């Protein structure tokens, strides 16, 4: 069966809406972003916006759902349950993804980003870490402390990287994060 191609105009409209949304989200809270502003940015009328999204909250929800899907794909491709799991492959994929989506990451993790989304992403990682933790028979006393420390530390690294304008290459940031995780997990082996 032949797959239907999306019209280039539709792709352009979505791209412009996404770009406009991310630029606006960097400077204001979502409650302050109007459909009119987005439509003006994308050079479309409001009716065209409503062909794609119900409102700005629906747009944010769909963007976040796409990120979660891509993030889960990264996690699935990098799960390693060997006796000494190496976090570098995941960190490299993770920071490469962040680098490729700089504007979106800057907006979502910025001052006006969605706090609930950050927590949701943290929970996804913690669930995966718990799976790896159990598979490798690490001591479970203090798992929550360790996982929260690692997840918050990696998020802090991303936020610092964003604030620094993504200056360092993703390979360098991934290596640094992986080394920190590896050294920290040694006390639970």
Q: DSSP class of residue 167?
A: -
Task: For residues 150 and 145, give the distance between their C-alpha atoms in angstroms, rounded to a whole number.
Answer: 9
- Predicted pLDDT at 2: 47
pTM over 0.85: no
Tokens 């997990």 sit on residue: 185
Is the pLDDT at 63 greater than 90? The verdict is: yes
Q: How confident is the model at residue 1 (pLDDT cuts 50, 70, 90)?
A: very low
Q: Cα separation of 146 and 112, whole Å?
A: 28
Structure tokens at 112: 């006006």
Angle in degrees, CA 147, 73, 80, rounded to 5: 55
């Amino acid at each position: 069966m032949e797959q239907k191609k999306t019209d280039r105009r539709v792709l352009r409209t979505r791209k412009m809406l996404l770009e406009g949304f991310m630029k606006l989200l960097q400077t204001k809270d979502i409650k302050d972003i109007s459909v009119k502003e987005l439509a003006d940015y994308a050079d479309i009328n409001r009716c065209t916006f409503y062909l794609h999204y119900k409102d700005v909250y629906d747009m944010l929800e769909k963007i976040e759902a796409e990120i979660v899907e891509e993030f889960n794909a990264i996690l699935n491709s990098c799960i390693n349950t060997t006796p000494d799991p190496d976090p570098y492959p995941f960190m490299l994929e993770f920071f490469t993804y962040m680098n490729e989506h700089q504007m979106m990451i800057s907006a979502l993790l910025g001052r006006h980003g969605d706090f609930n989304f950050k927590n949701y992403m943290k929970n996804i990682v913690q669930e995966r870490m718990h799976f790896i933790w159990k598979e490798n028979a690490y001591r479970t006393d203090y798992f929550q402390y360790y996982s929260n420390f690692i997840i918050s530390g990696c998020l802090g690294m991303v936020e610092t990287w964003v604030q620094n304008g993504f200056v360092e290459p993703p390979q360098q940031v991934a290596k640094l994060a992986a080394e920190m995780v590896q050294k920290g997990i040694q006390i639970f082996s």
